[in-house]
Amino acid sequence: MAEKAVICLAFSREVVYTYKVGLLWRIVRISGVCMLSNFVKTQLDNLAGLVGGLFGMVNESGQILYCAGGEIPETDSLFKGYLGNPGDLFAGPYFCLNDYIFCPVEIQGEDSVFLFTHLPEAARSEADKVACAKLLSVAAYALADQEIRHARKLSDLFRRLITDNRKGILRSEIEEICGTEIAKATALKLLLITPNSELSIAEKEVLASVVQHIFPPEQGCLCVQAEGSRQIVICPVDSELGGQIETYAATLCDTIMAEAMVLARVSLSGVFGDISDVGTAFQQAERARMIGETFDLTDKYYDYNTLGLEKFVFSFPTQACVEYVRETFGANFLQERSAPELLLTVKTFLDCNQNGSEAARVLYIHRNTMMYRLEKFNRLTGLDCAQFNTGLRIRLAMMILQYLDKKDPNLLRTQK
């Protein structure tokens, strides 16, 4: 019996994402190799044995992604020679071209992918074509169903890793669901995408598709649907894409907004050594998001390892924060009607390196008005913000005040 030929071909690609920021168009390019995930290849191997004969998969350009069970077609595209509108070709449940029959299937967020088989010369009647199309349709349904089941298993595994802290989870289960490449990686990073509001099912699918295009499985990435509308991406640090994950994270919010019309926040964990430690990494990314939102940081993404003083303040006990603010500003200053205006003025003054003229320009006020407000603040608090050490103390108290205000606006009023 002749040995069955099995091949999974790859072709170079450069995926271009274009999105609008203000009046400018920006482009994100992801270079790499278009390949199928190991899970999809395994499922196609199983289907090839059931279908029999030549069986494979092509993309919307007719380039072969997978082929098994016969002689590999020697062409750069199975759609070669077709001069019509591709939309007309793909409109029906199946189509025939160049002695092949094609049936659409949706995998890995791609809806322009097709299963195909060769039509023997003796089986090219309309009835034979319909029979082949039905067989491919069943295969397409089975493949899509298995991918949905796998995505659910993946989400459930991550939920257990995050909430149950690895209790009752075997290493073999992690390797089976996540794949050996991710399971054996020794340096990983977790990227958390959190939409600003709850999404519909359709919006979740679009978001997942956009994220998977940017972080494809062939680059060693793992995309997981987390609780609610959130998406988790796991990237090996030593992969080509993992080494640039900060660059992609910086453009991700704009890309998601342009492609999925979804406002989202992106946060990044520190490096962790094993996929089973994803719970700790998730907590870091979630904490980074909370810190970024609390202090109104304008960064494109929040990296747990670069939050600095904000992360330090966020870890303070609440009672210690209240006491520090009262010790710095006094017990009654925050009750003054002019306190918000004075605090904004002093903050701007400190942000401008204690340059009164520059601070006045930023606030669009006269320099004399700036000096009057600073003198009033000094009089009410007894603090001279023009002194470096005092200014540092005031700036830290302002950060703590912002933290307390987000945590509980009434906290300073209720605590004595």
Cα 45 to Cα 337: distance, rounded to the nearest angstrom = 73
Q: Which of 201, 219, 203 is nearest to 264 (CA)?
A: 203
Looking at residue 27, its pLDDT comes to 29
The residue count for the chain? 416
Between CA 66 and CA 115 the distance in angstroms is: 9
CA distance linking residue 139 with residue 291, whole number of Å: 47
**pLDDT the model gives residue 343:** 93
* Secondary structure percentages of the chain, helix, strand, coil, to 5: 50, 20, 30
pLDDT, position 109: 59
Q: How confident is the model at residue 9 (pLDDT cuts 50, 70, 90)?
A: very low
Higher pLDDT, 266 or 118: 266
Q: pLDDT-derived band of residue 39, with 50, 70 and 90 as boundaries?
A: confident
- Predicted TM-score (pTM) of the model is 0.73
Domain ranges across the chain: 6-149, 164-311, 316-414
Q: What is 6-149's CATH number, 3.30.450, 3.10.20, 3.40.109, 2.60.120?
A: 3.30.450
Position 336 pLDDT exceeds 70: yes
Q: What is the dotted CATH code of the domain comprising 316-414?
A: 1.10.10.2840
Give me the numbers of helices (H) and strands (E) for the chain, helices first please. Answer: 15, 13
**Which residues are paired to 57 by β-bridges?**
66, 115
**Cα–Cα distance for residue pair 35/355, rounded to 1 Å:** 56
pLDDT digits (tens, 9 = 90+) for 195-235: 998 888 888 888 888 888 888 877 788 889 888 889 999 98
Whole-angstrom Cα distance, residue 297 to residue 405? 15
- Looking at mean pLDDT, say which of 70-74, 288-292, 329-333 comes out highest: 288-292
Q: Right CATH number for 164-311 from 3.40.1390.10, 3.40.190.10, 3.40.50.720, 3.30.70.270?
A: 3.30.70.270
